[in-house]
Amino acid sequence: MSLVVSGLNHRTSELALRERLVFSEEALPRALKALRERIEGAGAVILSTCNRSEVYVNHAGDPAYLHHEIRAFLCDWHSIAPGDLSPALYEYADRETVGHLFRVAASLDSLVIGEQQILGQVHEAYQVAHREQTTDKVVNALFQKAFTVAKRVRSQTSIGEGKVSVSSVAVDLAVSIFTDLSGATVLVIGSGEMSEQTLQHLVDRGAGRVIVANRTIENAQALAQRFHGEAIALDALESRLHEADIVISSTGAPGLVLHADQLQWALRRRSQKPMFLIDIAVPRDIDAAANQLDNVYLYTMDNLKEVADRNIEARRDEIDRSLELVDAGVEQFWRWLRGLAAEPTIVSLSKELDEIRRRELEKTLANLKGLTPDQREEVEYLTKRIVSNILQRPLAEIKQEAHEEEHGSVLAAVRRLFGLKEGGA
């Protein structure tokens, strides 16, 4: 069996490419089924967030074959030419796959190290795959262990303390432009978790007036009420846009929410008073052409990377401690997985010897006519104890050998010596 991952993230690709690789919430179940049709019998999970798209697969095929099929799947699903995708793609196999997922879940591979949102996103991706029945025993164990390691990192280190979310970094950036937020009007587009986090940070930093715009007005009202703000429908955005000094957009819309011409019109109504925009959505909500407008300052997820890099340096000691916990978790899982490889041989060997025991027992009992039922039961119990004692040492050695890197030859020798079927079946 091979355990592989193929994907790209904020370090390996530009935002424009990451946008093209997004799997929407609605499309994810269909994508999982399409992946399983391409790689029949695979255990699979697709993780798609604002900063990464990754495909995890467990299958009997070799890693090169699986990586090729995942690349083909990504290109076909998203209508991307292989030449556009391959330079940004990372591909890991077996133990490296385990380490990568554990680092992702523990927020050690995030744009903002220590942010808490990624664990929930990994959990949701796994839940969708499990619900769609595209996981298997190994994938289930892999993700469950990833959750355990991530929680251990968060409880045993200080990696999650301080400014450790994309929204908090975005607000820090806003404060660097508007030193005093008390007189600023803030327009937040979207009412999801990221928008709520951003609003909380803005209010904590003294933001004045707050407007929440959302496609569903009830959701906008619920969020705005919590922060004593005003709710508007998304279709009213253009008529109210000129009121905003700061615009922070984080929707799940498949296309642009704000276009450059809308911003140009808003600037005229503001008498060219500057506007500060942070687009923390992937795909992007705000037209990149807005950067060409005078008095418009647009920042995207990629622009937050410089702030995030400073965050990494400030947390270096905690990162090192967190990586030690991840490495320990990887070793534990990998030993379990290597031991799992011996299970078919152990089951087959036990079954083979038990069949010999029962066959010989039947012959013996047929010649011992005078035995009472209790005596027959005692004889059978005796044969089971003999076989169990014979197997005890060999099975212990097989399990131990399975934890070594080169365990295939040992299992093959056992199958050959006892005439077991190939693969231990």
Q: Catalytic positions, please?
A: 50
d(CA 386, CA 389): 5
- Residue at token pair 């011992």: 368
326 is written with which tokens?
Answer: 């991840």
Q: How far is CA 304 from the centre of its chain?
A: 21
Q: How far apart are CA 167 and CA 174, in angstroms?
A: 11
Which DSSP symbol is given to 303?
G
CA distance 404 to 339: 9
Cα 36 from chain centre? 18
Rounded CA-CA distance 138/130 in Å is 12
On whether the CB atoms of residues 135 and 126 are closer than 8 A, the answer is yes
CB–CB of 345/398 below 8 Å? yes
Q: Specify the residue for token string 């004692």.
A: 389
- Token output for 364: 């013996």
In three-state secondary structure terms, 233 is strand
d(CA 123, CA 142): 12
Between helix 217-226 and helix 193-204 the angle, nearest 10°, is 30
Strand pairing report for 296-300 and 275-279: parallel
* H or E element, residue 257: none
Residue showing tokens 């496609």: 215
In this structure, are strands 52-59 and 43-49 parallel, antiparallel, or unpaired? Answer: antiparallel
Supply 101's token pair: 């997922």
Residue 421 is classified by DSSP as P
Query: In the chain, helix, strand, coil percent, each to 5?
Result: 60, 15, 25
